[in-house]
Structure 1
Amino acid sequence: MQLLVSVNSVSEASLALSAGVDLLDLKDTTYGALAMLDMGVSQAILQAVRHHRIAHPASTVTVSATIGDDCASMEQLKQRMDARLEAGVDIIKLPATIWLDSDLQTTLQRFLGHQVSLIAVFSPAELAEHAFMHEKLAELSAKGYFGVMVDTIDKHMPVTAQVDQHTLRAFIQLAQSLALTVGVAGGLQVSDLKLLSLMRPDYIGFRSGLCEQQQRKNCLSASMLMTTVEKMSDICQ
């Protein structure tokens, strides 16, 4: 398992890199569940990542980015994705309002045809519809998606309280059986690691649980970040 941490500045990215975080997620954490981070800030973070990779040749850090909670047109979608891929983002995360939108499928398929790594984000409500979940996971795998994840809009309750364990485990296992990388995120605390580690997702995502006063709009806490990295390391040994 790997640890994903959402960052919104160069200082936060540098903190996460220094702590040994595997996956950085570029996101505007001040509003929305998958709000898009400013392009200038994103470029500055990616430059810091490039410097980190040069200084640490063995580093396997990967960068994902969100592109907003919705998208108005195929052209807007293409512009947002092109800008981030050209800047050096490795993976693009898409909410259901985008990956399910029939009007955007031609553009998405074009990117998939060029081997761009896309992650489709499910909400807890979408996982609760078991037939829908099974059908869509199979479709996403067939289309060539890199992976899927579940994330929450309501960050006041962890995803582990919004999705029952049986459903969460079924989502993880089915996704992995279809060769999809699978992640779990949404309001998680360090205390959730033990339960989730038993389900073996490919990565676990954090933001609010690592911030000052447990508020995702606040800055990352260096001590909470290190505690989580150490806990994850202990679990994975």
Structure 2
Amino acid sequence: MTGWLASVANAAEISLILPTAPDILDLKDPAAGALGAWDAGDIAAAVRDLAANQQRPRLSATIGDHPMRPDAVLPAARRIAATGVDFVKIGFAPDGAPDRCIDALAPLAAEGARLIAVLFADLWPGDPCCLPIDRLAAAGFRGAMLDTSGKRHGLRHHWNDAQLGAFVSCAKAHHLLTGLAGSLRVSDIPALSALAPDYLGFRGALCGGERTAGIDPQAVTRVAACMAKLPIATPPPPRSLPVRS
């Protein structure tokens, strides 16, 4: 069954989202970029505030938008991991040194941090074989999510459903959690859930369309209701990726 991730821009939005029971509550500042980060102190406070709630969703948090350099990515990831969130989301673009960043993050994963790679569909070629999925798995990452860095067009504008399905299949073959996000609409839910990702991620759809606007409770209810009606999908056969040198 495909779960769903809800991104919240601040602590005040958490109470608006919790009643609809998302599977993952994602702490992200949409006004600060594709993966804009909350202040680490505010993330830690949210973790503490929700710790007593036995029915709370798992928490993820983004590290912010950083160049693909280990000296930029690793300290930011360590800072967010130290807050106690369940998942640390790290964006990867093909420019710079993404492979070096992945390798530099392996010790953090070995220490127990659950790292989620966010790969931007509008920056990477529309072929899962071009993605560093094998390297992410070898470095101990917990999951991989396909998202968009620009929000003018949705995920399905950049990759078609066959390509998205191949991404899900390949990531699962490497035992990674899988997620699809990027200006998703309610109308995208049936087709994308049929690809059997572990999660679909939402922000703009929870705000009535504009991701930097506040949470719209009615929009949240529409997303939650559509996700609750999903049938259990049968995933496609897994397909392994060739090892990248």
TM-score, normalised with respect to structure 2: 0.84
Deviations 1:43-102 (A, max 9, x none): 332233224x2xxx3x26111111111158656544433332232211111111499535
Alpha carbons 2:102, 2:139 under 8 Å: kept:
no
Measure how far apart 1:197 and its partner are.
1.2
CA offset digits 1:211-233 (Å, max 9, x no partner)? 04x11111111111112111111
Distance 1:140 1:100 in 2: 14
After TM superposition, which residue ranges in structure 1, 4 or more long, deviate above 6 angstroms?
Answer: none
Are residue 227 (structure 1) and residue 222 (structure 2) matched?
yes
Distance 1:42 1:155 in 2: 24
Provide the TM-score with structure 1 as the length reference. 0.87
Alignment CA distance shift 1:77-1:152 (3 Å) = closer
Matches of 1:103 and 1:197, distance apart in 2: 33
For 1:121, the aligned partner's letter is: V
- Residue 158 of structure 2 corresponds to 162
Q: Find 1:145's aligned residue among 138, 141, 146.
A: 141
Q: Quote the residue 2:189 is aligned against.
A: 193
Contact map agreement 1:29 1:216 (CA 8 A) in 2:
yes
1:126 matched residue in structure 2? 124
List runs of 5+ in structure 2 lacking aligned partners. 233-245
Aligned with 1:6: secondary structure? strand
Cα deviation for residue 130 of structure 1 reads 4.4
CA RMSD of superposed structures (Å): 2.3
SS class of match (2:229): helix
* Deviation readout 1:32-51 (Å, 9 max, x if unpaired): 11111122332332233224
Q: Once the two structures are aligned, what percentage of the paired residues are identical?
A: 29
Alignment correspondent of 1:11: 12
Partners of 1:145 and 1:180 within 8 A in 2: yes
- Map 1:74-153 to 2 at 5 A: 74=70, 77-97=73-93, 100-101=97-98, 103-105=100-102, 107-124=104-121, 125-133=123-131, 136-153=132-149
Higher helix share: 1
Indicate conservation of the 8 Å contact 2:207/2:215, yes or no. yes
Q: Describe how 1:16-27 pairs up with structure 2 within 5 A.
A: 16-27=17-28
Q: Distance in 2 between matches of 1:177 and 1:105?
A: 19
Provide the C-alpha distance between the structure 2 equivalents of 1:16 and 1:139, rounded to a whole number of angstroms: 34
Contact 1:112 1:145 (C-alpha < 8 Å) held by counterparts: yes
